[in-house]
């Protein structure tokens, strides 16, 4: 599990947690045996705080799961709320796996997808919808039964209420 920032222009040379005009995203990636990538979950969060991380974790990660994070202090509570917690610090990593390459690969792929497919023209207010699309595509990348794709799309369509154009654009032109 890790967090990252996407979108917006950098001002004053600040990057990462120092930026104020980017969307904060948290990512959880399932690792299968022999370090194969499993399913991914992505969510926009207001800030990298204990409350936001805990809400995301409870909604997306099964209790008792071992979670691997970097050394950022906002993740330190995970072992107190029913999760195993391992901390890998990149500066002191002894192996490549301790540099969290899998979750960083997903972060890189998401950013490349936004810049390539959407030409970087994504709105912060619609970012969760973009992340949901990426998650849907990634989690079905190796689906053996292509016929289920239509079923999953239909299932998703009926499980969400309708959205009007007025709600979608919120009567603004910042799309």
CATH top class, domain 2-146: alpha beta
What is the distance between the alpha carbons of residues 91 and 44, in angstroms, rounded to a whole number?
27
Question: Quick one: which H or E segment has residue 7?
Answer: none
- Name the nearest CA neighbour of 26 among 10, 11, 47: 47
Q: What is the pLDDT of residue 63?
A: 95
- What crossing angle do the helices spanning 101-117 and 127-139 adopt, rounded to 10°? 120
What is the distance between the alpha carbons of residues 21 and 10, in angstroms, rounded to a whole number?
8
Domain boundaries, the chain: 2-146
User: DSSP string covering 110-142, please?
Assistant: HHHHHHHHSTT---GGGHHHHHHHHHHHHHTTT
pLDDT tens-digit map of 68-88: 999 999 999 999 999 999 999
What's the mean per-residue pLDDT of the chain? 86
Per-residue model confidence as pLDDT tens for the chain (175 residues): 999 999 766 666 666 655 667 899 999 999 998 889 999 999 999 999 999 999 999 999 999 999 999 999 999 999 999 999 999 988 888 888 888 899 999 999 999 999 888 887 888 888 999 999 999 889 988 877 777 778 877 888 888 888 888 877 765 544 4
């Amino acid at each position: 599990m890790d967090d990252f920032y996407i979108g917006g222009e950098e001002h004053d040379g600040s990057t990462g947690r120092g930026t104020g005009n980017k969307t904060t995203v948290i990512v959880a990636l399932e690792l299968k045996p022999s370090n194969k990538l499993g399913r991914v979950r992505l969510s926009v969060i207001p800030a990298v705080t204990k409350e936001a991380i805990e809400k995301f974790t409870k909604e997306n990660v099964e209790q008792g799961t071992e979670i691997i994070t970097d050394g950022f202090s906002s993740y330190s509570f995970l072992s107190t709320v029913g999760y195993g917690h391992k901390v890998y610090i990149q500066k002191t990593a002894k192996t490549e796996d301790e540099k969290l390459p899998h979750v960083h690969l997903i972060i890189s792929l998401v950013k490349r997808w936004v810049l390539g497919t959407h030409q970087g023209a994504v709105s912060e207010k619609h970012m969760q919808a973009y992340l949901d699309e990426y998650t849907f595509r990634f989690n079905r990348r190796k689906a053996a039964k292509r016929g289920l794709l239509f079923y999953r799309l239909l299932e998703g369509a009926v499980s969400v209420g309708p959205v009007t154009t007025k709600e979608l654009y919120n009567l603004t032109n910042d799309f």
